[in-house]
Structure 1
Amino acid sequence: MPLYKTITVNSQTTVKIWKIEEAYDDLIQPLDLKPESLTRVLGMKSQLHQRGFLSVRHLLRSFGYTDQDLYYDTNGKPHLKDGKHISITHSFTFSGVIISDKEVGIDIEMQRDKIAIIAKKFVEYEFEYLDTEANDYVNKLTVIWGIKESLYKLFATPGMLFREHFLVIPFTFNEDQTVCWIDYKGLKKRYTANYLEFEGFTCAYVIE
C-alpha cells in the first residue's frame, strides 16, 4: 500500500498523499464501492483517471472511512457523513485527501513549464512580487495555482474567479506556509496556506 506521506497539520487536521503505482485491478479489488461510484469509475475513458479515483478511496480507508461515507453536494463538493470536512485531489501519479474539523481545500499539480503561458488567467496581484526571470518562477506559479485551486474547492461557489477573487501573500521556499485571502462580493476571509514539493509535483492545502 503506497501511502506516500502523512502530514499531521494539527490535532484536528491530517493530510495523506498516495503514490499511484498499482494496476487498476489491484486497486478496485479490495474496495466496496457504491453503485454510483462504480458506474462513475467504469465510465471513465482514461485508466489514469480510474486509478486516481480508486486511490482516493484507498486514502479514505486509511482514515477509517469507506466510499459509503462520502457524498457530493450540488456544487460537486465532497462531504463526509459524520460532519468532518474533506477535500480531494489527484494528478497523474499522486492523489491526496485532507480531513479536518474545519473547512479545508487541497490540490496536487505536476510542475510544468506551460503554466507560465496561462499565468495571466489566474495571477494578478501576485505579479507584483513574482520574478518572471527567476529559476523558481514555474514552481511559484504552481504553488499559487495550487493554493487558489484549494480555496476554490473549499468555498465551492460558482462565479468565483482565481485572478479576481483569490490573493496569495508573498512567500519563499525557505518556508512552507503563507497567507491567502478570498475577496468576493463583500466577503473577505483569511486562510492559512501550506505547500510542499516532491518528485516534480506540488501539493498545496488551505485551512480556515
Structure 2
Amino acid sequence: MNYITDRTYAKELLEHAYQQNPGPWYKHSLNVAKAAENIMLELKIRGFNLDCDIAYNAGLLHDIGRYKGFTKSVIHSYDGYVYLDELGFKGNAIICVTHSFPCENNHIENSAEWEYVPPFMKEKLVQVLKENAKYDIYNKVITLCDALADENGFTTLEKRLISVGLRHGTNSYTAIRWKGFYKIKKEIESLIDMSIYSLLPGVEKTIYTNIEY
C-alpha cells in the first residue's frame, strides 16, 4: 500500500488544492495532521511500529477532494480518492474515503446522504469500503482526528459532532455514526492507556468557546 511519506510534497499538494478552493477545510486539515502525529508518537512510545510521516500526511490530505469546491455528502471523498489514486498513493486515497465512514463496513447505506451522490460515485465508494472493511490504525486515527479538530485547533468529540450536526443537519442514522467515532476513540485510548485529550494541547480551552454553526 503506497502512502505519501514526504511532508514537503504532501504540503505542496494541500497548498495547491487550497488555492483552487480556499476555505476553513485547509486549517482543519493542518490540525487533523497535528492530532494524528501526536497520537502516532504516543503509540510508538507504547511499542507500536508505525510511521508518523504517513499519519501526518494522511491527515493533511484526507479532505483534498475539496479542491473541486463545495460538494454535498461524501462527494469530496470520491474526488480525493480519484485524485490521490491517480498519483499512485492508494493508501492515502483509501483514507479519503474511510474517514467519512466511522462505522467501518457496517451501515454503509446509512452512513451518507447518498441521494446527493451520483450512482457511479457511490458504486466506487462502496467498492473501496468493502475492499477495506477492516480499518488499519492509520484509517482509524485519521477518522477520529477528523472529529477532534476544526479550523481553530483541537476540540472535544462532543463539540465537533454537535457543530457538524447543527451545520449539516442530522437524521435517524446520526447516532450510528457518532457511536462509530466513540468506538474508535475507546479502542485507541485502550492502546495508549490514557485519554486522547491528553495528546491535544489546548483542547481544554474549547469548553469556553461557542459552538460553530
TM-score scaled by length of structure 1: 0.26
Larger of the two Rg values belongs to structure? 1
> Which has the bigger relative contact order, CA under 8 A and spacing at least 6?
2
